[in-house]
Structure 1
Amino acid sequence: MERTLKKYGWLFVLPTLVAFTIGFIVPFIEGLYLSFCQFTTVGNATFTGFSNYVAALTDASFLKSAGFTVMVAIVNVLAINILAFALAMALTQKVKGTNLFRTIFFMPNLIGGIVLGYIWQILLNCVLSLVGEPLLRLNPTAGYWGIIILMCWQQVGYMMIIYIAGLQNVPDDLIEAAKIDGATDWQILWKIKIPMMMPSITICVFLTLTNSFKLFDQNLALTAGDPNHMTDMLALNIYQTFYARAGKLWKGIGQAKAVIFSIVVVLVSFWQLKATRSKEVQQ
């Protein structure tokens, strides 16, 4: 069996490798080259060196959207994971109806981001009108918290499922031994359950962090960056630079922003994975 796998295994890997190369590696390399060019189409590019990167890093709107994205990401990661963990703890207490509640909490994750954005725009605008506040696209504070609420509502259920799986993998004998030794529920949570669940925490923090940085469709549908681009996140800022501004100069700058954005997301993700995996314990 092992000899056969070594001999013919590449036949099964090849289709996926070809698709990955055509769909990701080649476009990424071509996009990296275009970030050093002024262009209108892929076949009409003029090499300009690092001028696009200089323009991108000195663009006030790009830096402002980066700060806004970081603020959204921090609150998103904390809120989503705390709420998801709390729900997972509540729905692993062996009470009736847990499967129904798990399904209900998970369902928002099945709805597309554009649809969610417009739904929550209507809901939040109704709430703001009732309390006499300006509409969502005229109120940057409401726009910020609207994005947080939308992302929590969409992603908490998905992260909850991962935390439930982690809780169910905690050995019962460890918990029983701790109770016999007189440990309280709070001590069991912090000394046993959370350390044993670090793989689940690593996955959930990684997903919420990267999803927050890459957020686009919900941002576009909910606020579209209004008012005056004060609620632009990085992905939306790159989109607007590339498509909303005329001229081949801006396309090159937009491509340079996209490369910078990719590097930042990769570095932050690797840092997070290293930090949380160092806390994992062997079962």
Structure 2
Amino acid sequence: PECGSPVTRTGLSGEDVVWRCSNSQCPAKIRGALEHWCHRGAMDIEGGGEALIRQLVEAGLVKDVAGLYSLTLEQLTNLERMGEKSAQNFLDAVEASKSRELWRIIHGLGILHVGSGVAKALARQFPSLDAIAKASIDDLKAIDEVGDVIAQSVQQWFQLPQSRELIDRLRKAGLKFESDTYRAQTAGGFTGKTFVLTGTLPTLKREEATAKIEALGGKVSSSVSKKTDYVVAGEDAGSKLEKARKLGVPVLDEKEFLALCEKAG
């Protein structure tokens, strides 16, 4: 590692083993955690790129993701090549991230083996981050996307004192720990329905279509099977469309999909 500390082994065996730096204050480790948190696929904080993160860490201004929420305009404008407008834009982006969906927070925390798909599944299954933190291994494994390795990884992360401290600081910063998709799951018209998206839709981005489905309690899968309820197909749809037709899965275009969303809502 960059800091010269020993590495430790995490994971159970085989492909699940990951070697990580044992120093919680390793600059490279801190930068990686911050960049992951700010990434578009996690908390989507515009301006939180590699260059700014490096400066924040080197200046000792931020030591973990919660530290982003206590930055001041003066601290940022003292950094190299950081004007007042850029600094304010970044602070505004950080402030806006406080209302991000729960799955983004879960994904942003960087828990081993927990990508966006698992994070979304956890947010559908549990009403809040606190509920996930208290969940048993069996509770976690009740989710289709979660097996032994992921369940143990999630439970172990929430049991760490530094994890609990981080969550407390994020809570005090004003982040929203309740799950919108859990509430939608209990009352949404797509509850229990699985969708697959393929091809390019005329007006909707894939993220927008996914958000509509999940807001109504549905689930988006990456592959077509007999359990798939609908395939939403756009231009240049490939093998997924062919498989849907072979299996007799209903195929919707964008107009039909939007009509179904309106009916389900």
Pairwise TM-score range, normalised by the shorter structure = under 0.3
Per residue, is there more strand in 1 or in 2? 2
Larger-gyration structure (1/2): 1
Per residue, is there more helix in 1 or in 2? 1
Structure scoring higher RCO (CA < 8 A, sep ≥ 6) equals 1
Output the TM-score relative to the length of structure 2. Answer: 0.21
Output the TM-score relative to the length of structure 1. Answer: 0.20
